[in-house]
Amino acid sequence: MSQTSLLSEFVRHPREVGAVAPSGTTLTAQAVAPIPRTGDPVVVELGPGTGSFTAAIQRRLAGRGRHIAVEINPRMADLLARRFPGVEVITADAVRLDELLAEHGAQHADVIVSGLPWSVFPQARQRDVLDAAVRSLAVDGAFTTFAYVHMLWSAPARRLRRSLEERFDEVLVGRTVWANVPPALVYYCRRPSA
């Protein structure tokens, strides 16, 4: 999907598509860093959109494990499935993540990489999706998501940070990727709370 198509989807579905440009390579590399370089991890991608994180996850897995991508937008999911035939693309709402994993024979995710537009989510949706992610993550799993620097002051971004700290024993903030458009940073979350 081109940048023009992404912008078109953003205009049509601003509550589902929170970006007007794909994430850059430095940001995507940071977001997928917790994926282990050995073994067969189950990696879940939430809100893959155009596939910036998808491509980075595929490179990191290098044919190992399982890569499940959950995309709510049917058009974007279809394009993603055609572009990445090795990825299990599920067209569904991430709020059902634990159910979706069970339906697809996965007990849990070892790593969840989120490209979801948290800043456009109402409080209840933010809560419900995060709760589903926590329920779906292995005890020693990792969850990553990103935030745009210019939005960090906003109520939804502050709420997201608090919500992450309530749900994980460890929340680390990566370095700002100034070269990203717009600049962004990654949250690294480990050990989901019971």
Tens digit of pLDDT for each residue in 112-148? 999 999 999 999 999 999 999 999 999 999 999 999 9
**What domain range is 168 assigned to?**
3-192
Task: Give the HSE-up count for residue 54: Cα atoms under 13 Å, Cβ half-sphere.
Answer: 25
Which residue shows structure tokens 């995507």?
28
| Average pLDDT of the chain to the nearest whole number | 91
- In angstroms, the CA 189 to CA 168 distance is 6
The domain total for the chain is 1
pLDDT value for 15: 44
pTM, full prediction: 0.89
The CATH number of whichever domain residue 41 belongs to comes to: 3.40.50.150
User: Is the pLDDT score of 102 beyond 70?
Assistant: yes
Tell me 87's DSSP state.
Answer: S
Sheet holding 168-173, edge to edge: 88-91, 66-71, 42-46, 109-114, 137-148, 184-192, 168-173
Tens digit of pLDDT for each residue in 21-43? 578 999 999 999 999 999 999 99
pLDDT over 70 percentage in the chain: 89
